[in-house]
Amino acid sequence: MIFDDPTRSTGEWLRGEGPLADVVISSRVRLARNIAEFPFLTSASAGQKSEIFRAVADQVFACADDPQAELIDVKEADDLDRQVLVERHLISRQQADAEGSRGVTVWPDETLAIMINEEDHLRIQGLHSGLQLDELWSRLGALDDKLGARLEYAYDKKFGFLTACPTNVGTGIRVSVMLHLPALKLSQEIERVSRATKDLRLAVRGLHGEGTEAVGDLVQISNQTTLGKSEEEIIKSLGETVIPKIVEYERMARDELLKQHAEQIDDRIWRAYGVLSQARCIGTEETLTMLSHLRMGIHMGRFDLIDIPTLNELFLLTQPAHLQKMVGRLLEGRERAIARADYLRKRLSQ
Amino acid sequence: MDGLCQHCQQEKATVLVTDNFPEKRERHLCEECALREGVIFKQKENGQQILQQFIKASASIQKVSARTCPTCGMTLKEFQKRGLLGCPNDYDVFGDLLAPLIQRAHAGATHHVGKMPPGLDESARKRTSLRRLNRELQDAVEQEDYELAADVRDQIKELESA
């Protein structure tokens, strides 16, 4: 389904709605679980991996609240399709590259996906636009209970849900929020984020989870510890304290920029539009940077030639694998840069 | 820093450890005792870094445990290499050795306080039992213990008809 027409992207997060959507791009919650009677993936044989895959996939199918939830066999998928899944945040790079039976069950609007046989037997993941951690948790928690009644989870009274890596033990929960912070970056106040998250055991990262350089002014904040606090406490400390505070900082910085430097801001936004709508050759990084300026422009009310859902679509479809899927064949770096520019020019002239 | 390690009283104390949980206190330890406690000698710590540091540091401790997990064969050395455990039973087998690492990685937490898994429903319990019995049957046949095999086969039949 996903691979039939990746241009018909249905991911809910693309709508860019939800609370605090002017700064919060998306919220994610994931739970790590393993089945008691099998070893972790680290020590599982190929035969065991197949057994685990079958057992889990069957129960996920039985518990899914949507009959259209689709199981994708990542082992059988080709490299390009795997990359499409990574770009959509449906599987991790690790799962794309791993060996053995593995897959992901995806809900039609991509708000829910269950990775099977990544680092743990199951990774139940939810993704929503805006700050919607409570709704995500309630949905994930219910699904987790349903699955837990049918699959015996590896669980210990002391250490909680047992995971392959001790850094995930306990709740096995990872809560992340993706923020767009162009004003803090521009005003060179991005340090406020470090200060707001200091000593709270939070991980602060750039776009694809590696490096600290905020590409496209996107910053991801997630919990680092999973043991010793309840799931609700972890979600609350992120969702009710830290994130709203940072959102406030960004909004204030945006207001200040408009008050003091309106012409420079407009110039930045409209130059970005100029590049995207006229370039003949453009790389991913530059595209993300330009899109970031437009995103800021739209939320600041200084640009309205495209709306947020369209912007998000551009964001997704200009990524390497999606681009090649659209064009219909594999492309080398230079060809991709040209194809990307062609696509952007076409979309922006509509 | 003068004096002997406050923990083992044998080696010279060379590391000053400041604990903030459960309350603030300072201790003078030797390098080996500090390492055993999961202390890392770096400024910024996050889960993955702590894990890697622990693994690298522990490798230098002389008396590395020769303990092996009976279920998956995992050893501490193997865990140090991969940073990942082999099976749920490892938390039992290596619990005492993992505890300081886990405590350090999770800001002093030692116990899970979140949700528990729900009870297994009837059909799940049956499925799990059947899988276990089938494995027992396979083992019995492999070992040519046909009397045991017949016994297990009966148990399977009984469970399936229940």
A201–B131: do the CB atoms touch at under 8 Å?
A: no
Coil, helix or strand for A249? helix
Strand segments, DSSP code E, in chain A are 24-33, 70-73, 103-106, 112-116, 122-129, 155-156, 160-161, 173-180, 202-205, 218-223
A158–B110: do the CB atoms touch at under 8 Å?
A: yes
> Cβ atoms within 10 A of the Cβ of A129, count?
24
Q: What is the pLDDT of residue A207?
A: 41
Question: Does A259 reach chain B within 8 Å, measured CB to CB?
Answer: no
A165–B120: do the CB atoms touch at under 8 Å?
A: no
Q: What is the pLDDT of residue B43?
A: 37
DSSP bridge pairs for A21: none
Flag the least confident range among A112-116, A251-255, B29-33, B88-92. Answer: B29-33
What residues of B are in contact with residue A230 (Cβ under 8 Å)? 113-115
CA distance A43 to chain B (A): 5
Interval A5-24: pLDDT, tens: 766 667 888 888 899 999 99
For the cut 90, the answer to whether the pLDDT of residue B32 exceeds it is: no
Q: What is the pLDDT of residue A208?
A: 40
- Our CA angle for A292, A296, A300, nearest 5°, is 170
Question: Does A151 reach chain B within 8 Å, measured CB to CB?
Answer: yes
pTM: 0.82
What residues of A are in contact with residue B47 (Cβ under 8 Å)? 167, 203, 224-225
Count how many residues are written for chain B: 162
A158–B128: do the CB atoms touch at under 8 Å?
A: no
Nearest CA in chain A to B94: A166
Percent of chain A at pLDDT exceeding 70: 95
Higher pLDDT: B121 or A149? It is A149
Question: Does B82 reach chain A within 8 Å, measured CB to CB?
Answer: yes
Q: What is the pLDDT of residue B57?
A: 61
Interval A32-57: pLDDT, tens: 999 998 999 999 999 999 999 999 99
Mean local confidence (pLDDT), A191-203: 86
Q: Tell me how far CA of residue A246 lies from CA of A6, A223, A238, B114, in angstroms.
A: 34, 15, 11, 27
* Long-range pairs of B121-128 with CB within 8 A, sequence gap ≥ 24: B121/A149, B121/A150, B123/A150, B124/A149, B124/A150, B124/A151, B124/A152, B126/B159, B126/B162, B128/A37, B128/A152
- Our CA angle for B49, B53, B57, nearest 5°, is 175
What is the average pLDDT value for chain A, to the nearest integer?
92
B84–A203: do the CB atoms touch at under 8 Å?
A: no
The residue among A121, A135, A126, A130 whose CA lies nearest residue A164 is: A121
B106–A225: do the CB atoms touch at under 8 Å?
A: yes
Question: Does A159 reach chain B within 8 Å, measured CB to CB?
Answer: yes
Question: Does B70 reach chain A within 8 Å, measured CB to CB?
Answer: no
B114–A229: do the CB atoms touch at under 8 Å?
A: yes
Higher pLDDT: A216 or A236? It is A236
The HSE-up count of residue A172 (CA atoms within 13 Å, CB side) is: 28
